[in-house]
Structures are given as C-alpha cells and as structure tokens.
Amino acid sequence: MTHLNDEIQKLNNPNCAEEEIFYQAVREVLHSVAPLHLSDRRYSLHKIAKRMIAPDRVIKFKVAWMDDRNEIQVNTGYRIQFNNALGPYKGGLRFHPSVNEGILKFLGFEQIFKNALTGLPLGGAKGGSDFDPKGKSDFEIMRFCNSFMQELHKYIGSRIDIPAGDIGVGAREIGYLFGQYKKITSSYDGVMTGKPYFFGGSPLRPEATGYGVVYFTQAMLKTENKEGLKGKICTVSGAGNVAIHTIEKLRQIGAIVVSCSDSGGTIYDADGIDLKLLKKLKLIRCESLEKYLNDRPNASYTPLDRYPDGAHAVWNIPCYAAFPCATENELNGTDAATLIANGCSCVSEGANMPSMPEAIALFLEHKICFAPAKAANAGGVTVSGFEMSQNASMERWSAEEVDAKLQNAMQNICHMVSTTAKEYGSEGNYVAGANIAGFKRVADAMIAEGI
Ligand code: NDP
C-alpha cells in the first residue's frame, strides 16, 4: 500500500496544467484499486501502479502539409503507446485543435483498462493531432492525413499498434490514412480499424460505440432491478458518431430522445429528435445544429451550452436516463445536482470521461445507476477487435452476427464490472468495478511478463 499511497500523493502536485486531465483519470483509477492492493501485496511488490501510469513511449512529430492556397501549414502529431501487456497497442486518433500530450495521455491511460474489460488481447494507446478538420476541403484532409502517416507508419503495424478513429477521425480520414500506409509500406495490413466496409471494415463499426452504450445500459438497469428504457425520456449530448448511434439505438428500443448538442449549442425537441434530419445536418452537410430549427420549428436551440452558473443546457432537461456523448468534462457538479433534482435515475457515459469527479461523487452518493465510460463505451473497440479478426482470417461477418456478438460482449462486461464491485465491497459502484477489473487483468499480465 505504501507504494500506491506514494503514487497518489505525487498526483496531488501536478506540475504541468496540460497534464491535469491525465492526473484526473489516474487519481480515479488509483483510488479505486486500493482494495485490490490490500488483498494482494504482489501489486505493490511489483510497483504496478508506478509502472502502469508511465506510458511505454510518447511519440511526437511534426506534420507539415500544403493547404488549398498552396500555403504550408504545420501541426503536431502524437502517438502515445501506453501499455502492451495484453496485446498490441490499440486506441483511436483524435484530430481537434484542443489535442495536446496531456489529453492523449488521459485517453491512452483510460484505453488500457477499457481494452482489458473487453477480454480481447489488446493493449492501450491513443494518438492524434491539433489539426482542425472543420472547414477543410477533402483534398486538404487527404494531404494532412498523408503527411501524418508519413511519420506514424514507422511506429504501427498489425502486431504492433493498430490505430482507429475518435473525434475528428471518421471513415474518410481512416481511408486516407490507410491508403497512405499501404503506399509507403506496400503492405495490405489490417493496420487500422474503422475502415469503410468495402475495403476491409467490419459491419457495424460506425454504430458500435453508440449501440454498445445502450446495450450496456440495458444490462446495468436489469442487474440493478431498475425499469428499462422503453418509453422513457432520455437526453443525449453531442451530435457526432457516438451521439448519433446512441440516439439511433435508443429509438430502436422505444426510448424517447429529446436532446442533442454540438460545440455551438443544444437542441431540445420534446417530440423526439428527428434522427434523419440530424444525420443530414451533421454527417452529410457538417452544419451547425441551429439549422435543425428550419425543419423542426417546435424544437428549441440554446446557442451557448453553458449558462453563467456553469450549468450545461442538455443537463437541465428532465429525463430518466442521461447519455453524455460529446467530450471530456462536459458534465459538472452543478449539472449532476440538476439531473438528480429532476429525477434522473441513470447516467451512461458514451464520451470518454465526460463527468467531472464531483459529478461522479454525487451520482454514487445518490445511488444513481452510473455507467463509467471505460465500460459503457467499450463497444467501439470491441468491434474494432472483431474487424482485426475478420482481416486476419479473411472472413466477413454479417451485421446481424456482429450485432449479436456486440450485445453479448457488453452484457459480459456489465456482469464482470458488477460482480467485481461486489467482490471488493462496493456493490452497485460500477466505477470501482470497472477500474478494479480492468486494472487486475493488466496487472496480472505485467507481473507474469516480468519487468
Ligand atoms: P465526433 O467527432 O464524431 O463528434 C464529437 C461531437 O462532440 C460533435 O458533436 C462535436 O461538436 C462535439 N464536441 C467535440 N468537442 C467538443 C467540445 N470541446 N465542446 C462541446 N462539444 C464538443 O466524435 P465521436 O462521436 O467519435 O466521439 C465523441 C466522444 O466519444 C469522445 O469523447 C470520444 O473520445 C469518445 N469515443 C468515441 C469512440 C468512437 O468509436 N468514435 C469510441 C469510444 C469513445 P461539433 O459537431 O460542433 O464539432
């Protein structure tokens, strides 16, 4: 335990503001795994916490590319290869102006445990760039991806590190990155997942994270003897890949989804979000959500997501279940208190770490069914694992087959998380269950593999 306490103590004095979000993620995991350290001293003896919070390597590189005006632009690219105790490094790439080393270290660290929870042989990694795809032409995106892969290809491979998508990286970007990898290496490797279906992608990979969130939530509500989602009002934040497919699956099972949001504002549509319209606006035209009102005048749009008291418009809407699916730290203590006061019974995280620590503390205190991201949104990496299997065996599975396997996988993760929480004295606490179960699987592999 001294070893674990020493590591927690160090986190109270982060010396770099950029790294604070990484420390936030580490603090949560290390606090959760204290009971594990008490029950088995091997974890302290082998200094697992100290070794786990240091990435295996941080790769940082320059990405120079030519825009449509023939001007040279320069961005920074990263790949954080965090831990490969369980299998090759695996984790998405994020293209967003907010990307820095601290954000990617937090995402890479979380990815280790998420991947462990899937039961698949996958290590944890994350990467990306401060490049902003918004407003760029297809050719600019292609030239950026080509330059990015020019450097990244040196560090990845189907048995080494297999990147995928994340914010700002969808099928188009994966296609360009994969094409450039193939050109440079002359190798048609399953080196990336999230590829379009017609050249090696898995059916249902775009849908997997959002669908998985709903499958996990259904399993959690059943385990906790709570009412299901059918006929219930649900709120969702975000309007990207994860949000759209969470909304799609919620609608399929008969829930009523009344909100979505983007970086500009929030839509509230009491009649239920018009999914076809949402897809047209965000997936095809890449427009602001404000345009939603042109077709749905009875809906409302709150242009600023945050009110002066720091509350978020989405979380002011009364609901049975809330699904934060946009980005990290988007749901604070004020939002959590509002959700609870409005009778919310369940919060499931589609985005990575969207709830701030004070929000999670409130959810746990009020016995809200709370599904943490590393368990609830593991459906994306699960189907990425299926894509790797299909690529390696040259098989193609049907959408129905993938969907059934995904549903089964999410139920298994839910079962593992809830039984682990119970085993370590925190029944009903899915944060503790996910952290302990994920940590244990990686730690046991690290001990077995030696230093
Ligand atoms: P997308 O890029 O498809 O969508 C992101 C959405 O969030 C957009 O609606 C975007 O608004 C909004 N958003 C992004 N940054 C901010 C911000 N700083 N403030 C407010 N809104 C913001 O990304 P994904 O849907 O793929 O990812 C969403 C979350 O899910 C992320 O946390 C990601 O790490 C996580 N995740 C994704 C997985 C996947 O398979 N894609 C797998 C597991 C987790 P706008 O349209 O205005 O840009």
pLDDT (tens digit per residue) in 324-337: 999 999 999 999 99
Among 188, 222, 237, the domain boundary falls at 188
Residue 124 has a pLDDT of 98
Token output for 337: 């208190």
> Per-residue pLDDT averaged across 124-133, rounded?
98
Nearest-atom index, ligand 1, CA of 305: 20
Torsion sign across C-alpha atoms 226, 229, 232, 233: positive
Residue 238 and residue 154 share a domain: no
Whether 400 maps to a domain, the answer reads: no
The model's pLDDT over 44-75, given as tens digits with 9 standing for 90+, comes to 999 999 999 999 999 999 999 999 999 999 99
Residue 2 predicted with pLDDT over 90: no
Domain of residue 1, residue span: 1-51
128, 156, 188 - which closes a domain: 188
Closest residue by Cα to atom 48, ligand 1, is 263
- Distance CA(127)–CA(142), nearest Å, equals 18
Q: Verify that 148 and 65 share a domain, yes or no.
A: yes
Q: Is residue 134 part of a domain?
A: yes
pLDDT at 448: 98
pTM confidence score: 0.96
**Atom 21, ligand 1: which residue's CA is nearest?**
263
Atom of ligand 1 nearest to the CA of 381: 42
Provide mean pLDDT across the span 366-371: 98
Compute the distance from residue 263 Cα to the ligand 1 centre, in Å: 9
CA distance linking residue 101 with residue 122, whole number of Å: 22
> Do 143 and 173 fall into the same domain?
yes
* 153 in the same domain as 92: yes
Confidence of residue 4 (pLDDT cuts 50, 70, 90): confident
The confidence score (pLDDT) of residue 285 equals 77
**Is 381 part of any domain?**
no
pLDDT digits (tens, 9 = 90+) for 174-223: 999 999 999 999 999 889 999 999 999 999 999 999 999 999 999 999 99
Q: Does residue 9 carry a pLDDT above 80?
A: no
Q: 55: which residues sit within 8 A by CB, 6+ positions away? A: 80, 81, 82, 83, 105, 108, 109
Share of the chain above pLDDT 90, in %: 92
Query: Cα(363) to centroid of ligand 1, in Å?
Result: 23
**Candidate of 214, 263, 356 to mutate for ligand 1, largest count of ligand atoms within 8 Å of Cβ:** 263
**φ/ψ of residue 301, rounded to 5:** -125, 125
Same domain, 1 and 146: no
**Structural domain contains residue 425:** no
**One domain for residues 162 and 245:** no
The closest alpha carbon to 199, from 180, 179, 181, belongs to: 179
Residue pair 269/308 in contact (Cβ under 8 Å)? The answer is: no
Tell me how many domains the chain contains: 3
Q: What is the pLDDT of residue 96?
A: 98
| Residue 114 annotated to the active site | no
Other beta carbons less than 10 A from residue 77's beta carbon: 24
Q: Do residues 86 and 221 both lie within one domain?
A: no
Q: What spacing in Å lies between the alpha carbon of 262 and ligand 1's midpoint?
A: 9
Tell me the C-alpha distance between 447 and 451, whole Å.
Answer: 8
- Place 10 in a pLDDT band, splitting at 50, 70 and 90: confident
Rounded (5°) CA angle 95-96-102: 95
* Residue bearing the CA closest to ligand 1, atom 15: 327
pLDDT of residue 8: 76
Under the banding of pLDDT at 50, 70 and 90, the label for residue 267 is: very high
Distances (CA, A) of 369 to 226, 363, 411: 9, 8, 15
pLDDT at position 338, please?
97
Clarify whether residues 76 and 125 are in a common domain: yes
- Region of residue 160 (left: phi > 0; alpha: psi -120 to 50; beta: else): alpha
- On whether both 238 and 356 belong to a single domain, the answer is yes
- Rounded-to-10 torsion of CA 241, 328, 102, 154: -10
The protein residue with its alpha carbon nearest to ligand 1, atom 41, reads: 166
Amino acid at 321: A
| CATH at 158 | 3.40.50.10860
Q: Is the pLDDT of residue 150 over 70?
A: yes
* Average of per-residue pLDDT across 295-323: 88
pLDDT, averaged across the chain:
95
d(CA 296, CA 342): 26
- Determine the pLDDT at residue 90: 98
Can you spell out the DSSP letters for 408-443? HHHHHHHHHHHHHHHHTT-TT-HHHHHHHHHHHHHH
The one catalytic residue in 90, 105, 114, 126 is: 126
SS3 169: strand
Question: From atom 20 of ligand 1, which residue's Cα is the shortest distance away?
Answer: 263
> What's the rounded mean pLDDT across residues 351-373?
98
Q: What is the CATH number of the domain that holds 241?
A: 3.40.50.720
State the pLDDT at residue 28.
Answer: 96
**Claim to verify: residue 10 and residue 137 sit in the same structural domain:** no
pLDDT at position 286, please?
A: 82
| 423 lies in some domain | no
Q: How confident is the model over 233-258, as pLDDT tens digits?
A: 999 999 999 999 999 999 999 999 99
**Which pLDDT score, from 0 to 100, does residue 1 have?**
61
| Last residue within a domain, chosen from 319, 352, 376 | 376
Residues 6+ apart with CB under 8 A from 261: 237, 238, 239, 267, 289, 305, 313, 314, 326
Q: What is the DSSP letter of 303?
A: S
User: Within this chain, do residues 265 and 170 fall inside the same structural domain, yes or no?
Assistant: no
Shared domain check, 31 and 63: no
Whether residue 391 is contained in a domain is answered as no
Q: Which value, in Å, is the radius of gyration of the alpha carbons in the chain?
A: 21
Task: Tell me if 413 is assigned to some domain.
Answer: no
pLDDT at 305: 60
The answer to whether position 433 is within a domain reads no
CB under 6 Å to ligand 1: residues?
165-168, 209, 238-243, 262-264, 325-328, 350-352, 377, 380
In the three-class reduction of DSSP (H, G, I as helix; E, B as strand; rest coil), residue 90 is classed as strand
Indicate the top mutation candidate among 95, 105, 167, 247 to test ligand 1's pocket, ranked by most ligand atoms within 8 A of CB: 167
Whether pLDDT at 6 is above 80: no
Q: Could you tell me the pLDDT band of residue 18, with boundaries at 50, 70 and 90?
A: confident
Residue in the structure block whose two tokens are 């975000």: 238
